[in-house]
Amino acid sequence: MNRIEWPALMRAGLQQLGLRPDEFWTLTPAELQVMLGDPAKTGPLLSNGLEALMTAYPDKT
């Protein structure tokens, strides 16, 4: 059986998604997963991705 990582899920729901505690606790795990998105479809921001963003949105001096 897989153990549920409640602290990580709570951080994601409350901090990342901005849910209130009562909203978080009324969600099903499937609903929370949909709201967080599919981790397989998002990857880390690699250096070439960062360079593209920096070129597109340069810091203003």
> Alpha carbon 39 to chain centroid distance?
8
Inside any domain, residue 42: yes
| 21 CB-contact burial (10 Å; exposed 0-12 / middle 13-18 / buried 19+) | exposed
30 within a domain of the structure (yes/no): yes
What confidence category does residue 14 fall into, taking pLDDT thresholds of 50, 70 and 90? very high
pTM, 2 dp:
0.55
Asked if residue 61 is part of any domain, the answer here is no
Interior/surface letters 38-58, b for 16+ CB within 10 angstroms, e for the rest: eeeeeeeeeeeeeeeeeeeee
23 falls in which pLDDT band (50, 70, 90)?
Answer: very high
% of the chain exceeding 90 in pLDDT: 25
Q: Show the domain range for 12.
A: 6-56
Would residue 1 count as lying in a domain? no
Task: Supply the pLDDT for residue 58.
Answer: 85
Number of domains the chain is built from: 1
Residue 44 domain-assigned (yes or no):
yes
